[in-house]
Structure 1
Amino acid sequence: MALLEPKSKVLMIGALEHVGKYLTIASVMLGHFTLVLLPNIRNGDPAQNQIIEYFENIGVAFIKGDIDNHSRLVQAIRAVDVVISAAGGNRFSIEGQKTTVSTNKKLKLVGTTLHRAPSLNSNKWQSWVKLAEVYPVGVIDVDRTHVLPEAERKLEEYRQMRRLKDQSGVPYNHVVGGFFAGEILGRFNSQQSQLSLPLKIPLFGNGNSKVVFSVEMDVGRYTILGADDPRTLFKTLYIRPPENVISLNELVSLWESKINRFWERIYIPSEAFMKLYNEAQPKEKIVLALMHSAFIRGDQTNYDIDPSFGVEASQLYPHVKYTTMNEYLNRFLPE
């Protein structure tokens, strides 16, 4: 009887970020030793302390340090096979991506990676470390998206970061998960959805552009599976579950069918959207530019995933039961 290949050991950077929590939980659930890099095991934030306590209860290991503490980072990397970065979730800037670049350099410096994967050039096995960039631009593929001018400059900085990663020689994969359902839809509890929302709802564009919604726990599972899979090496893992590729019109209709209530849809055409954009503060413009790209231009889904640069998660892992938007909306119905 053949022995099963041991699971890789995972280092999680940014475990307290929105998506980082789910990546960490998924890593443990899928049987990986999971090490989390934290500046402080306890801090003054009760919500974060609660997450840390939950991590402790499910068996997460911790190492005190951060990406700027070289010796601790090297120590952490030497203890694992795979590094996943979910850091910088709220920083849409080149500074926010220094996590990835500096981590790449230190991974290359360490040279003690243990994860075994088939070589791309031969049948021999080689050691490699993979860094999955999940956040902050996981809603789009920066190499296949163009946004409004001010945000486009920021995206170009991210593209430069990717090119540096390519040149570093460190094996990696990117993860593009679309909109995170918990951030976009999870703000409404059942009471708000039933009683407080107006009968009018604004929709960007004509409401027909297809976008992708992913439930965070599914993003976690797919990312961890992809991090241990040579088929994703040097590629982008797109999370595009077919039943979650949906337009805003379709999403609203789905919700209306569940509550037997209809909303008047107020469409915001491109001209009106641009007025909002031009009057917005710089930080707001970044978010609005992503919305314009997705909901008006349709940039999340207006290209096919070619095997030369990417793979789609639900096709790669058909055994994973993902949460559909139809199922996800049920959690907001009154009991």
Structure 2
Amino acid sequence: MGKCRVLIVGGTGYIGKRIVKASLDQGHPTYVIQRREIGLDIDKLQTLLEFKKQGARLVQASFDDHQSLVDAVKMVDVVICTMSGVHFRSHNILLQLKLVEAIKEAGNVKRFLPSEFGMDPGRMENAMEPGRVTFDEKMEVRKAIEEANIPYTYVVANCFAGYFVGNLSQMDSLIPPTEKVRFYGDGNVKGVFMDEYDIATYAIKTIDDPRTLNKTLYVRPPGNILSQRELVEIWEKLTGKKLEKIYVSAQEFLAPIKSLDFASQVGVGHFYHIFYEGCLTNFEVKEEASKLYPEVDYKRMDEYLKLYV
């Protein structure tokens, strides 16, 4: 039996680039949407041309042209959407709903992975505003998928290491602090931190696996369930230098939220749920990626942090 054909929408994005690579690496005929709206974005175009050089097929389509989306979907067995940025935008939700309509009309898709790859929106109904909108919108997409009877897998990948590990989970930088580190509460609440390519590898593994059909896959390998304190300890061991610890209470952390711009308010809310409430680890999971796919040698965070030394 041949490998299933995969269409990736949003392939030039942060997680999208890794999904394209993982699909190619696992031997799937890989198709990537080249949106007509790309305009003069030379970086995106060159990324797409690089995919082509690696063996991907570029497919011209536009969200303003429903038929072009339907035609693109009909070429493949699996559709993966990776259009989310750091913070999900309402505009992208509308585009995903258009994609769901195209998949429904095409009628041939064996699996759809919508743009998730973060926290589980199904567990965030009590999230604070305004960050809650990002979860509500993802649930809207899930509802449309399920109402259309489209076979799906939702991939809950937790924290991208690039945004949460290299900076020891500090909000104001992407690189490690040199003198002081802010701890959320006592720093002992457990999170889940993943190398972005490992997330992509696990996502592609699910696409023809009956065990993940119409299920949520949690990317939560035991070796990467760590507290912020443990991350800092790994860093201190790697560098041989102790950082000054500043402990920030929940009240102090949330105090300035009203004065921040929208994106920062969303970020603060998400950090609060992860590092004060433990929303990534305070429940049991069934379909866990490292148990389903023990052959994947996922990157531990001590290895990841060596990049920054």
Under a length normalisation based on structure 2, what TM-score does the superposition of the two structures give? 0.91
Q: Which residue of the other structure, out of 65, 74, 78, is the alignment partner of 2:74?
A: 78
Match of residue 217, structure 1, among 194, 197, 210:
197
Cα offset, 1:184, TM superposition: 3.0
Task: Map 1:173-184; keep pairs closer than 5 Å.
Answer: 173-184=153-164
Equivalent position amino acid for 1:17 in 2: G
Deviation at 1:44, TM superposition (A): 3.4
| 1:111-169 deviation digits (Å, cap 9, x = unpaired) | 2x2xxxxxxxxxxxxxx42111244xx32101112321322244233323322221111
Count how many residue pairs are aligned between Structure 1 and Structure 2. Answer: 303
Q: Is the counterpart of residue 131 in structure 1 residue 84 in structure 2?
A: no
Work out whether 1:271 is the aligned partner of 2:251.
Answer: yes
Task: Write the mapping of 1:11-90 to structure 2, written as runs, cut at 5 A.
Answer: 11-40=7-36, 44-90=40-86
Q: Distance in 2 between matches of 1:158 and 1:203?
A: 30
Q: How large is the Cα RMSD of the aligned pairs?
A: 2.2
SS of equivalent to 1:315: helix
Q: Which has the larger radius of gyration?
A: 1
Q: Which residue is 1:123 aligned to?
A: none
Q: Does 1:227 align with 2:207?
A: yes
- Residue 23 of structure 1 and its aligned partner are, at CA, apart by 0.2
Match of 2:5 among 9, 25, 37: 9
Distance in 1 between the 2:256 and 2:17 partners? 33
Structure 1 CA distance, aligned partners of 2:253 and 2:208? Answer: 42
Name stretches of at least 5 consecutive residues in structure 1 with no aligned partner. Answer: 114-127
Q: Does 1:326 align with 2:302?
A: yes
User: Which residue of structure 1 aligns with residue 263 of structure 2?
Assistant: 283
Q: Separation in 2 of the partners of 1:93 and 1:51?
A: 23
Instruction: Output the CA distance in 1 between the equivalents of 2:95 and 2:215.
Output: 20
What is the identity, as a one-letter code, of the residue corresponding to 2:152?
Y
**CA–CA separation in structure 2 for the residues paired with 1:36 and 1:132:** 14
Structure 2 unaligned residues grouped into runs of 5+: none
Structure 1 partner of 2:122? 143
The residue type paired with residue 141 of structure 1 is D
Q: How does 1:115-264 map to 2 (within 5 A)?
A: 128-135=109-116, 138-145=117-124, 146-186=126-166, 197-264=177-244
